[in-house]
Amino acid sequence: MITDVICEDPRWEEAGLEALSETAAQAVFAHLDLTGDWEVVVMGCDDARIAVLNADFRDKDKATNVLSWPSEERAADDAGGQPLSPVGPDPELGDIAISYDTCAREAAEAGKTFTDHVTHLAVHGILHLLGYDHIHDKDAALMEGLETEILGNLGIADPY
């Protein structure tokens, strides 16, 4: 198992967050050819909890779909560059939090299945832990391209 899942909101247990997170993590690691005993903590919560986390860590006083906290900085030095591969004795890559309420709302608004959207957000969050980002156009193109390829390998349509 790559993921350690904590369900603060019981709806996540019913939705199968543990299996969805593990599937997403395995797909990311396979696509990036990462080997080793890496670990990702995934917390399933609601909008109230993620809004507090978003305010505390990003100074944004609102709910969001997914947040990530990498265990170390792995971003590339140049926009559009490949992030650093994880190394070292500590297998913990970091933590992500996903809000049930926002995921359900976004999936319904976009006409996507909830499981496909959650899988996409888990892939997205895990890529953040690995140093990928979307602040600059070149970084966004790289990250979104990877997401599309990884999700395509899982039979999930391009989310963009």
Please tell me whether 128 is known to bind a ligand. Answer: yes
In the chain, domain spans: 3-153
pTM (predicted TM-score): 0.95
Query: CA 61, 63, 66, 71: dihedral to nearest 10 degrees?
Result: 30
Q: Look up residue 55 and give its two tokens.
A: 């305010």
pLDDT for res 76: 87
Strand 39-45's sheet: what is its strand order? 3-7, 39-45, 92-99, 66-70
Look up the CATH superfamily of 3-153.
Metalloproteases ("zincins"), catalytic domain (3.40.390.30)
Question: In the chain, how many H helices and how many E strands?
Answer: 6, 4
pLDDT level of residue 85 (50, 70, 90 thresholds): confident
Helical packing angle, 100-110 and 47-58, nearest 10°: 100
Q: Name 97's bridge partners.
A: 43, 67
Q: Write out pLDDT tens, residues 3-49.
A: 999 999 999 999 999 999 999 999 999 999 998 889 999 999 999 99
Total length of the chain: 160
Cβ count within 10 A of residue 151: 22
Per the annotation, does 117 bind a ligand?
Answer: no
120 annotated ligand-binding residue: no
